[in-house]
Protein backbone atom coordinates (compact mmCIF):
# COMPACT_ATOMS: atom_id res chain seq x y z
CA UNK A 1 0.00 0.00 0.00
CA UNK A 2 1.29 3.42 -0.94
CA UNK A 3 1.46 5.93 1.90
CA UNK A 4 -0.19 9.24 1.03
CA UNK A 5 1.73 12.37 1.86
CA UNK A 6 0.28 15.74 2.75
CA UNK A 7 1.30 17.00 -0.71
CA UNK A 8 -0.55 14.10 -2.39
CA UNK A 9 -3.67 14.82 -0.33
CA UNK A 10 -3.51 18.54 -1.19
CA UNK A 11 -3.06 17.76 -4.88
CA UNK A 12 -6.03 15.38 -4.89
CA UNK A 13 -8.24 17.96 -3.14
CA UNK A 14 -7.21 20.68 -5.59
CA UNK A 15 -7.74 18.40 -8.59
CA UNK A 16 -10.98 16.63 -7.59
CA UNK A 17 -12.54 18.97 -5.02
CA UNK A 18 -12.64 16.17 -2.48
CA UNK A 19 -10.56 13.39 -0.97
CA UNK A 20 -12.35 10.16 -0.03
CA UNK A 21 -10.47 7.96 2.43
CA UNK A 22 -11.43 4.34 3.03
CA UNK A 23 -10.31 1.60 5.35
CA UNK A 24 -6.87 0.08 4.86
CA UNK A 25 -6.44 -3.51 3.66
CA UNK A 26 -6.21 -4.97 7.18
CA UNK A 27 -9.51 -3.39 8.21
CA UNK A 28 -11.16 -4.50 4.94
CA UNK A 29 -10.05 -8.06 5.65
CA UNK A 30 -11.33 -7.94 9.24
CA UNK A 31 -14.73 -6.65 8.09
CA UNK A 32 -15.23 -9.10 5.20
CA UNK A 33 -12.59 -11.86 4.86
CA UNK A 34 -14.50 -13.83 2.19
CA UNK A 35 -15.00 -10.74 0.01
CA UNK A 36 -11.41 -9.61 0.55
CA UNK A 37 -10.05 -13.00 -0.58
CA UNK A 38 -12.38 -13.09 -3.60
CA UNK A 39 -14.43 -16.02 -2.29
CA UNK A 40 -17.59 -13.94 -2.32
CA UNK A 41 -18.50 -10.78 -4.14
CA UNK A 42 -18.08 -7.78 -1.99
CA UNK A 43 -19.33 -4.28 -2.55
CA UNK A 44 -16.68 -1.67 -3.27
CA UNK A 45 -15.30 -0.16 -0.06
CA UNK A 46 -17.23 2.92 0.97
CA UNK A 47 -15.35 6.06 1.98
CA UNK A 48 -15.03 6.45 5.74
CA UNK A 49 -13.79 10.06 5.74
CA UNK A 50 -14.38 12.71 3.09
CA UNK A 51 -12.51 16.02 3.09
CA UNK A 52 -13.73 18.60 0.59
CA UNK A 53 -13.95 22.33 0.07
CA UNK A 54 -17.09 22.43 2.27
CA UNK A 55 -15.54 20.67 5.26
CA UNK A 56 -15.26 17.21 6.77
CA UNK A 57 -17.52 14.15 6.88
CA UNK A 58 -16.97 10.78 8.57
CA UNK A 59 -18.94 7.53 8.69
CA UNK A 60 -19.27 7.40 12.46
CA UNK A 61 -22.27 7.58 14.78
CA UNK A 62 -23.02 11.13 15.84
CA UNK A 63 -21.22 12.82 12.94
CA UNK A 64 -23.60 15.30 11.27
CA UNK A 65 -25.16 13.72 8.19
CA UNK A 66 -24.12 16.42 5.74
CA UNK A 67 -20.68 16.86 7.26
CA UNK A 68 -19.18 19.69 9.29
CA UNK A 69 -18.27 22.96 7.54
CA UNK A 70 -14.76 24.26 8.11
CA UNK A 71 -16.10 27.22 10.09
CA UNK A 72 -17.58 24.90 12.73
CA UNK A 73 -14.41 22.84 13.29
CA UNK A 74 -12.69 24.08 16.43
CA UNK A 75 -9.82 21.65 16.98
CA UNK A 76 -8.21 18.53 15.52
CA UNK A 77 -5.84 16.44 17.58
CA UNK A 78 -4.32 12.97 17.91
CA UNK A 79 -5.24 10.79 20.87
CA UNK A 80 -2.92 7.87 21.64
CA UNK A 81 -4.50 4.73 23.10
CA UNK A 82 -1.91 2.03 23.73
CA UNK A 83 -0.12 1.72 20.36
CA UNK A 84 -2.95 3.16 18.27
CA UNK A 85 -3.48 6.78 17.25
CA UNK A 86 -6.96 8.22 16.83
CA UNK A 87 -8.03 11.55 15.35
CA UNK A 88 -10.47 13.56 17.45
CA UNK A 89 -12.31 16.51 15.93
CA UNK A 90 -13.95 19.11 18.17
CA UNK A 91 -16.85 20.91 16.54
CA UNK A 92 -19.37 23.60 17.36
CA UNK A 93 -22.95 22.41 16.81
CA UNK A 94 -25.60 24.74 15.39
CA UNK A 95 -28.02 23.97 18.25
CA UNK A 96 -25.48 24.86 20.95
CA UNK A 97 -22.87 27.19 19.41
CA UNK A 98 -21.32 27.97 22.80
CA UNK A 99 -20.50 24.30 23.51
CA UNK A 100 -18.07 21.97 21.81
CA UNK A 101 -18.59 18.36 20.86
CA UNK A 102 -15.74 15.96 20.13
CA UNK A 103 -16.05 13.22 17.53
CA UNK A 104 -13.53 10.48 16.75
CA UNK A 105 -12.76 9.66 13.13
CA UNK A 106 -12.69 5.98 12.07
CA UNK A 107 -9.55 3.99 12.77
CA UNK A 108 -7.37 1.98 10.35
CA UNK A 109 -7.70 4.25 7.32
CA UNK A 110 -5.55 4.26 4.19
CA UNK A 111 -3.88 7.47 5.39
CA UNK A 112 -1.64 7.49 8.48
CA UNK A 113 -3.53 9.19 11.34
CA UNK A 114 -0.75 11.68 12.05
CA UNK A 115 -0.48 12.68 8.37
CA UNK A 116 -4.27 13.00 8.09
CA UNK A 117 -4.55 15.08 11.28
CA UNK A 118 -1.74 17.44 10.18
CA UNK A 119 -3.30 17.85 6.75
CA UNK A 120 -6.77 18.59 8.18
CA UNK A 121 -5.21 21.20 10.50
CA UNK A 122 -3.38 22.78 7.54
CA UNK A 123 -6.60 22.90 5.49
CA UNK A 124 -8.44 24.39 8.47
CA UNK A 125 -5.79 27.09 8.89
CA UNK A 126 -5.95 27.99 5.18
CA UNK A 127 -9.67 28.55 5.48
CA UNK A 128 -9.22 31.26 8.09
CA UNK A 129 -9.78 29.15 11.21
CA UNK A 130 -6.39 28.87 12.90
CA UNK A 131 -6.32 26.40 15.76
* Domain contains 131: no
pLDDT tens column, 30-80:
555 555 555 555 556 689 999 999 999 999 998 998 999 999 999 999 999
* Domain contains 80: yes
* Domain contains 20: yes
* Domain contains 116: yes
* Distance in angstroms (rounded) separating the CA atoms of residues 94 and 78: 24
* Domain contains 1: no
Domain assignment of residue 105, given as a range: 6-126
Q: The domain spanning residue 82 has which CATH number? A: 2.30.29
pLDDT > 70 fraction of the chain, expressed in percent and rounded: 79
pLDDT at 1: 44
Q: CB-based contacts of 1: which residues, under 8 Å, 6+ apart?
A: 24, 25, 110
Neighbouring CB atoms inside 10 A of 99's CB total 8
* Domain contains 115: yes
pLDDT at 96: 81
Number of domains in the chain: 1
H/E stretch holding 123 reads helix 113-126
Whole-structure pTM value: 0.81
pLDDT at 98: 85
pLDDT at 40: 54
* Distance in angstroms (rounded) separating the CA atoms of residues 94 and 102: 14
* Domain contains 66: yes
- Give the CA distances from residue 69 to residues 50, 51, 55, 92, 106, in Å, rounded to whole numbers and listed in that order: 12, 10, 4, 10, 18
* Residue 122 pLDDT exceeds 50: yes
DSSP 13-39: HHHHSEEEE-B-HHHHHHH-HHHHTTS
* Domain contains 106: yes
pLDDT at 56: 96
Higher confidence at residue 37 or residue 1? Answer: 37
* Residue 83 pLDDT exceeds 70: yes
Amino acid sequence: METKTIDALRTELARDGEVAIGFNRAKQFLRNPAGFLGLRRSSPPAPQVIVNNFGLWAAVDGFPEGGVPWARILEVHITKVNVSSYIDVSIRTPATPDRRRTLRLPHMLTVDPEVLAKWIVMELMERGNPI
